[in-house]
Chain A
């Protein structure tokens, strides 16, 4: 298989089978342990008895606890250690005798992938979380990780919903006899690197506003071609202006020259005045204006050599 990861190799799904969990994969690299850990930590002292531990676990409904001596993490003890002590009839032994002294910890400011790896590698049920000074600041269980991920997924989803809701209600929330939204984009001449950015931004705005996919596509094609024409032909660049109304959108592309000598000819499919170097980039097929006409309800092209060009299209939503 020749599939390679993205250049940064981060959170990349290696194949189609695992890619459903990509959003989660991203989150395990983004979420910090301190965002999902339990901050209220039940601790015991190494001098406490296992009998005391039994009470602590039962009352707090936890299955393990870090062991602290003078605020310093010296071990970890779990319900499993308690069961072993009970079996051996050593309920009065001290926590210090039964605990695991070699404690694996994670740092609060690490991402949760670090914890996920440790859970997977060592089979731990919980990990003490320490700050960079080594002081215990929380506890992390696998359940905390799952809950944290689910919460974050919900937050992300909710935020997108809110954006969408706010935008899509603009025409209902703002009352006037005729409400319109005007978006202006400046387009630089010969900037093929940024060509398409205005159309992309307009497309995103329309999606937020709740336009149907079919009309978004028509507007995307028309605005991209109009923007490309400004990049290829205009002397000093131009402007792409979108006037959005509840039932229609008007897109105007204006420049200040050179102007089209023969508008009728320019409208012919395949006719282009683009120079060779631009055609080699894949532009200048002579299809731009035809594409625009094909996906709009109205199109008007005004041009005067030495003055400029004004293209106006209307798309009914």
Chain B
């Protein structure tokens, strides 16, 4: 776990004010809120927000929209992975059936 100070030293261009605003906005969720401590994921997320605002030139108002979309995509990807992992456990004949069904559902004009 990283303290707020660790986070500030490791992420260039991150300031206390910025970090606290982001936490207040819910963009960053400290792993432990009491004595705020952060994970490597929080660090990478803070770096991402810096990237979006400083390097890519997005406005502060755009950031929640982007984070929301990114979080949705990772939500979808996680569910898809679960689904695929579950399908991988099925016996071969069942998997073949599923594969056929997918091809059918997709249809010719829908790939």
Do A and B assemble together? no
Binding site for B on A (CB under 8 A): none
Binding site for A on B (CB under 8 A): none
